[in-house]
Amino acid sequence: EIGTAIGFWAVALATYAGEIRLETIEKSEALFNLALGFTRKAKLADRINLFLGDALELELEKLSPPYDIIFIDGAKQQYIEYFERYEKLLAPEGVIVSDSLLFHGYVTNKKIIESRNLLGLVERIEAYNQFLSKNKNFDTKFFCFGDGISVSRRVKR
């Protein structure tokens, strides 16, 4: 998981998906510490391995691939870079799930955006959506529930 936040997704998945193991990366030390406490309180610290740092700078040797699922929910403007860096760690039958692809509805309704910074962020999310659509190495399905999500599966050759 790229973008742990408080660890909700990791704890929920570890709690309800059986005896799985997760690795999750969080850049914010404050959120990392909250997630650490949350996983300990849930008695899942032995199955959820948290890393503090930037997912684009983390030494990949510290991780334990291959991964059945890679969940991208970090800094939205870096989604393409996350995908390109971590796709090689995906198991042959694995999927990459990307969250927040509609970004509060702004991606489908840019005319309501007043901030140049927000517009730039939304344009990066749009570029990522196009990247997924045009990526011939992955078959991607988009789902418009919640804040928008995609599931990308490697194309068998």
Task: Give the domain CATH number at 133.
Answer: 3.40.50.150
Domain count for the chain: 2
* Short-list 157, 121, 152, 126, CA closest to 139: 152
Among residues 40, 64, 88, the one where a domain terminates is: 64
Among residues 23, 39, 64, the one where a domain terminates is: 64
Q: What confidence tens digit (pLDDT) does each residue in 112-144 have?
A: 888 999 888 989 999 999 999 999 999 999 999
Rounded Cα distance between 1 and 97, Å, is 9
Q: What confidence tens digit (pLDDT) does each residue in 33-76 have?
A: 999 999 999 999 999 999 999 999 999 999 999 999 999 999 99
Residues 78 and 155 in one domain: yes
**Polymer length in residues for the chain:** 157
Q: How far is CA 155 from the centre of its chain?
A: 20
Order of strands across the sheet that contains 149-154: 67-72, 90-99, 149-154, 138-143
Among residues 14, 41, 64, the one where a domain terminates is: 64
